Amino acid sequence: MSIKTSPLPLKERLRQELANPVMRTAIANAQDLLNAKRDAAFAELGDFAKWRETAGAIRSHVLENLDFYLNRFAERAAAAGAHVYFAGDAAAATAYGLQILRDKKAAKAVKSKSMVTEEIGLNRLLEEAGVEVVETDLGEYLLQIDDLDKPSHIVVPALHKDRERFREVLAAKKGYTGDSVPENLTRFVRQLIRKDFLEADVGITGCNFAVAETGTVTLVTNEGNGRFVTTVPKIQLVFMGMERLVPTFAELDIIFSVLARSAVGAKLTSYMSLITGPRGPQDADGPEELHIIIVDNGRSRVLASEFGEVLRCIRCGTCMLECPAYRHISGHGYGTLYPGPLGLALVPVLAGYEDYGEITKICSLCGACSQVCPVEVPLYEFIFEHRRIIAEERRLDVGENFLMGLYGAVIGNSKLYRMATRLAHFSALAPRAGPLAQWTATRELPAIPKTRFRDWFAARGKKGNLP
């Protein structure tokens, strides 16, 4: 995979998603449930405004000093025995990973959920090179065996599938014969993947946050797969986006405290693993080699832009859960790996307006995302600014530019204006075809009266009926 998750044009994607009742019910339920849990978790914690202000200040501080902290992190991680590789783009990152696997003659890799590995398209490249890659997060595993279906949410990737679909896929692909009770489906997958965990040569993970002062990488999971991937295989590859740093453990406290609450409404996840270097000389388990691949892939361009603060993001998914547009079209409607308000703010600057300018129109500019973001990313403001740039500076939308130009010409010229307003009521005759068809499919056009106000006013004045 890469940033782009669908070959279909925007309108076709939206049409498909809007016509999918299973997805729409699932996403609406998920938003309501997870938003209520998050509200309850922060209400119990108290002082939400102070937490988010502090978390936001920490993330902003890291970005402002990112060169310093990356340098420090690399030095400390290397001192702890890790190999640190800086990858400028996706190709460099995947090539390095593949080289390690080739050197070790690895046949099988187990993987815990990681957005950045999706972004750089790691799985496909490894599979093409003959390495079996097993996604071990339950949701990701199901997507993988369901003919590489795409995630619809960054935290709960298979949100769009119901239990019956889980059962069908496991039955068709893995010979499952049981019912669709979630416990039973989960136990079945546990047994399947247990074998993979024990056989795999390499463990591949992302990194939720890295600690600069100690060279530590961290993984946050509930299922325990993050622990497995970093315990049994002899080689571990960690892929991390270059901005995913905190200065010290003190800041990790604040970030972890808001992350689990924001993502799933829990105080903390079941497991948080802190990994500093490969296993020690006294350790019997854990990886013998630890490789940390730090990925830029457009992030330095984002950082240098006016949208740099979007890199504060901690990937909790709260903005998606709060978004009314996401509610109806899910992550699939966006057609981008990072969907929802985060996707609209990040992707156009990460991967360009030419391919990803149009998606910014998905937003209704309600501003809810900016209110709930636990690190105060000005999401709505960024989306609005993208739209301004696309319309005013880049002038990318030919149709819109033409119409706006026409509109400007008409209201800027008194003769044209008079003619147009006299003719306006004829629009009622043909609104359901042509360019207005989409609008009128779900709405009524306002009725335009035959007589203009100024004509009516002038006529009444002549008769002397004014008070």
Partner 1 sequence: MITGKELFISRISHGLGRAAPPDTPTRLVYPHQMQRRYLAHASTQKLRDIFIANARAVGVDVHRCDAGGLSAALLEIVRKTGGPVILAADPLLTGDVAQCLTEAFTECHIWDAGAGREKNLALAEKAKVGVARAEMALAESATTLLSCHGGNGRSITLLPENSVIVIRAETILPRLTQAMDWLHQQKTLPASVNFVSGPSSTADIELVRVQGVHGPLELAYIIVE
Please give the residues from 29 up to 58 whose contact with partner 1 meets the rule CB under 8 A. Answer: 29-30, 33-34, 46-47, 50-51, 53-54, 57-58
The tokens of 301 are what? 């361009």
CB of 416 vs partner 1, minimal distance in Å: 48
CA atoms of 125 and 282, how far apart (whole Å): 36
* Residue among 270 and 427 whose Cβ is closer to partner 1: 270
- The residue range among 85-93, 202-210, 319-327, 359-367 that interacts with partner 1, by the rule CB under 8 A, is 85-93
* Residue among 67 and 127 whose Cβ is closer to partner 1: 67
Give residue 233's region: left, alpha or beta (phi > 0; psi -120 to 50): beta
Question: DSSP letter at 105?
Answer: T
Site for partner 1 in 305-364 (CB under 8 A): 308
CB of 152 vs partner 1, minimal distance in Å: 12
The Cα angle at residue 138 between residues 137 and 143, in degrees rounded to 5: 95
Site for partner 1 in 220-279 (CB under 8 A): 222-225, 227-228, 230-232, 242, 247-254, 256-257, 264, 267-279
Site for partner 1 in 128-147 (CB under 8 A): 136-139, 142
Orientation angle between helical segments 10-18 and 21-45, nearest 10 degrees: 90
CB of 109 vs partner 1, minimal distance in Å: 16
Helix (H) or strand (E) segment spanning residue 170: helix 163-174
Is there binding between residue 384 and partner 1 (CB under 8 A)? no
Is residue 353 helix, strand or coil? Answer: helix
Beta strands in 192-248 (DSSP E): 202-205, 210-211, 216-221, 235-241, 245-246
Site for partner 1 in 160-179 (CB under 8 A): 161-163, 166
CB of 55 vs partner 1, minimal distance in Å: 10
Q: Which of 9, 130, 178, 182 binds partner 1 (CB under 8 A)?
A: 182
CB atoms within 10 A of CB 250: 11
Which backbone phi and psi does 271 adopt, to 5 degrees?
-130, 140
Q: Which of 103, 128, 183, 444 binds partner 1 (CB under 8 A)?
A: 183
* Residue among 236 and 370 whose Cβ is closer to partner 1: 236
CB of 262 vs partner 1, minimal distance in Å: 15
CA atoms of 350 and 343, how far apart (whole Å): 10
Q: Which of 14, 42, 69, 360 binds partner 1 (CB under 8 A)?
A: 69
Site for partner 1 in 88-127 (CB under 8 A): 88, 92
CB of 375 vs partner 1, minimal distance in Å: 13
Site for partner 1 in 193-212 (CB under 8 A): 193-194, 197-198
Report which of 134, 127, 85, 89 is spatially closest to residue 109, judged by C-alpha positions.
134
CB of 145 vs partner 1, minimal distance in Å: 13
* Residue among 161 and 332 whose Cβ is closer to partner 1: 161
CA atoms of 116 and 114, how far apart (whole Å): 6
CB of 194 vs partner 1, minimal distance in Å: 7
* Residue among 246 and 362 whose Cβ is closer to partner 1: 246
Burial 15-52 (b: 16+ CB within 10 A, else e): eebeebeebbebbeebbeebeeebeebbeeeeebeebb
* Residue among 308 and 357 whose Cβ is closer to partner 1: 308
CB of 149 vs partner 1, minimal distance in Å: 13
The secondary structure of 259-302 as a DSSP string is HHHHHHS-SS-SEEEEE-SS--TT-SSS-SEEEEEEE-TTHHHH
* Residue among 17 and 243 whose Cβ is closer to partner 1: 243
Is there binding between residue 286 and partner 1 (CB under 8 A)? yes
- # residues contacting partner 1 (CB under 8 A): 107
CA atoms of 123 and 135, how far apart (whole Å): 9
* Residue among 14 and 290 whose Cβ is closer to partner 1: 290
* Residue among 12 and 288 whose Cβ is closer to partner 1: 288
CB of 60 vs partner 1, minimal distance in Å: 10
CB of 31 vs partner 1, minimal distance in Å: 11
* Residue among 59 and 387 whose Cβ is closer to partner 1: 59
CA atoms of 251 and 205, how far apart (whole Å): 22
* Residue pair 156/223 in contact by the 8 Å Cβ criterion: no
* Residue among 17 and 223 whose Cβ is closer to partner 1: 223
Report which of 410, 395, 406 is spatially closest to residue 435, judged by C-alpha positions.
406
Is residue 432 helix, strand or coil? Answer: coil
